[in-house]
Amino acid sequence: MTDRLESREKVTGEARYAAEYPVEGVAYAAAVQAGVGRGEVVSVGTDEASRLPGVLAVLSCENAPRLNGVDDGELALFQSRKVSYRGQFVAAVVAETLETAREAARLVRVDYRSEPPDVRLGADRPDLYEPGSVNPGFPADTGKGDPDGAFARSAVRVDATYTTPAEHNNPMEPHATIALWDEDGTLTLYDSNQGSSIVQTTLAKVFGLDKDRVRVVAPHVGGGFGAKGTPRPNAVLAAMAARAAGRPVKFAVPRQQMFATTGYRTPTIQRVRLGADADGRLNAILHDAIGQTSVVREFAEQTATPTRVMYRAEHRRTSHRLVRLNVPTPSWMRAPGETPGMFALESAMDELAVAAGIDPVELRVRNDTDRDPESGVPFSSRNLVACLREGAGRFGWAARDPEPGVRRQGRRLLGTGVAAATYPAYMQPNRATARAEPDGTFTVRIAAADIGTGARTALTLIAAEALKADLDRVRVEIGDSAFPRASVAGGSAGTSSWGTAVVRACEALLGRMNGTVPPGGLEASADTGDEVKGREEYARHAFGAQFADVEVDVDTGEVRVRRMLGVFAAGRIINPKTARSQFIGGMTMGLGMALLEESVMDAEFGDYLTRDLAQYHVPACADVRDIDAVWVEESDPHLNPMGTKGIGEIGIVGAAAAVANAVHHATGVRVRDLPITPSRLLPEL
């Protein structure tokens, strides 16, 4: 139980976030968003804006410098006249003050030649296509046996379609950048991101610079959830604006503009078919997922991939189809793929449990497997059953009457639900250095990111253990691309990936120390590229079980979650205190997914109407009554030197299904379209 090491700096406001660096002579940027959903910019009228005192520059497709193309078309800022979606940045103003910049941005007159935007996602679209692969590189489709035939022949069948809406990451700290160009052409970015090395490489490419001429600084990041996993247009805009103005420029994306420009979880349409024998043993699993992407960039959410590893069944199929629409590009959002995918699969498992008359916990236990059901590769460890059993015991599951819609407390219907969770245990190559200082302390450096997860604390614990040193003698420095190159804080891979490099650097340092430290200190470094490549073949995944207890008001259809419990098997837990926060944070976000979160597409104009936190509802304190997370001890030798699997994302996986299953248990109503709002539930009660 270690307190977050930077907690004092954070609560006293000493910890600096991207937009907070005191930079002399800084100017401010404000962006202009496209007012049409599809078309071309005919002209950009800047006279009125330019006349405003304090305006330093107006940038648009008519005068922006040429940038180098990179994989992500969202970064090709002002490089063409094409408007791909409503809200896309089409111009920007730089001014002496933020107020002037915003007012001038309002005065920029953009004329368009426009066409009606194509924004409707549907399972019936003729232009659905199979992507070459899905995030982060899996095949779009997989199959084994004769799933359609086996499903048709199964004694018990579930065939249901589930939908999840677009959902937006809403980190407390918006996407923000301060950009400074030195006289020698070096670019420094104070930028809110999940990986300074990645931002460094990408921005260097965009601006045609040697990588060493870009420095990205991000020691504290106020949340990301995946939205800051890739550089976003804000970083490019700030850098471009700073060059145009000849001054440092600050650009923090206003909350309203984040909804179009910083990524979101694609809406999904998922058909799940489960075929089982009378005892609930699965014979056929089919999961067909549809999502959307933009015309700017392909992002293929891996929605059906968790179904590939969850349950034993001879006959199986998963597929992904996409459609390109005039919408902002979807991106990573906490457990992309697993989160919507497991909502569908685990809802279908609950429907199967009801159809077969089998307890939902028992049904999942019955379909457990010790090998990856598709590849036959053994799991490095898989403690799903332990999580289900431990959770059922703690939650008081044994007393549960399976009959839906019969428990009442006054005007409220009560119900409980369960869902399983899984998330891959990824590992990325990384580099780190460890220094022994003459004063007996150690400094470890790696360009890792702490986006509020407690990564800094976990890495310090890992380093101290590897160095066999007390915690207060070890300093871990992160969040700077000047430090050894690190992978992104994403995929729940940070602690495992960075930690391995830290351990190897510390081991190398200890190997060189011989008891004495020279006056200049002693440094060792590590690169885990070969180690990651050379790992044995195992299916490596974390597992979990989510339990929820809900009440539903019969007069209003309001759902409140009385109690939630998550039990996780995620390898070794480095720091129980911050780990618990990660788990319950994920579960809270899952509660929001189940009941609240929904970005509403305006079919006429083609943008998301929900543009602030008054309209886009995330859980508030009053929604979170009693959430607890625990874990089962797991010692897995096939992971990494720490024995960790990663915990950032598994907390959200399965949480929405557990709530939805509890709502069904409470009411007898199966809501297959998230979120479960009074408007959807009340008419069915």
For another protein, the binding residues (CB under 8 A) are 33, 35, 99, 102-103, 106, 256, 411, 555-558, 560, 595-596, 600, 602-605, 609-611, 614-615, 617, 619-623, 675, 677-679, 682-683
Nearer to another protein, 475 or 680 (CB): 680
Amino acid identity at 412? R
Active site residue 649: yes
Residue with structure tokens 């001014």? Answer: 95
Q: Considering the candidates 167, 173, 477, 649, report the single residue annotated as catalytic.
A: 649
Q: Which long-range contacts (CB under 8 A, 24 or more apart) does 405-412 make?
A: 405/666, 405/667, 405/668, 405/669, 407/666, 409/551, 411/553, 411/554, 411/555, 412/551, 412/552, 412/553, 412/554
> At closest approach, how far in Å is the CB of 558 from another protein?
6
Nearer to another protein, 392 or 596 (CB): 596
Nearer to another protein, 147 or 585 (CB): 585
| CA–CA distance, 209 with 204 (Å, rounded to integer) | 5
- Let me know the angle formed at the C-alpha of 650 by 300 and 673, rounded to the nearest 5 degrees: 60
> At closest approach, how far in Å is the CB of 148 from another protein?
36
| Residue pair 604/598 in contact by the 8 Å Cβ criterion | no
- Element holding 95 (H helix, E strand): strand 89-95
| CA–CA distance, 83 with 607 (Å, rounded to integer) | 13
| CA–CA distance, 158 with 282 (Å, rounded to integer) | 11
Identify which of 644, 634, 639 has the alpha carbon closest to the alpha carbon of residue 575.
644
Nearer to another protein, 110 or 384 (CB): 110
| CA–CA distance, 223 with 450 (Å, rounded to integer) | 9
> At closest approach, how far in Å is the CB of 684 from another protein?
10
Nearer to another protein, 668 or 678 (CB): 678
> At closest approach, how far in Å is the CB of 167 from another protein?
14
Instruction: Give the up-direction half-sphere exposure of residue 114: CA atoms within 13 A in the CB hemisphere.
Output: 17
> At closest approach, how far in Å is the CB of 108 from another protein?
13
> At closest approach, how far in Å is the CB of 238 from another protein?
21
| CA–CA distance, 203 with 223 (Å, rounded to integer) | 21
> At closest approach, how far in Å is the CB of 134 from another protein?
30
Nearer to another protein, 79 or 114 (CB): 114
Distance of CA 684 to the CA centre of its chain: 33
Nearer to another protein, 81 or 102 (CB): 102
Instruction: Give the up-direction half-sphere exposure of residue 608: CA atoms within 13 A in the CB hemisphere.
Output: 31
Q: What are 359's two structure tokens?
A: 């307890």
Catalytic residues: 649
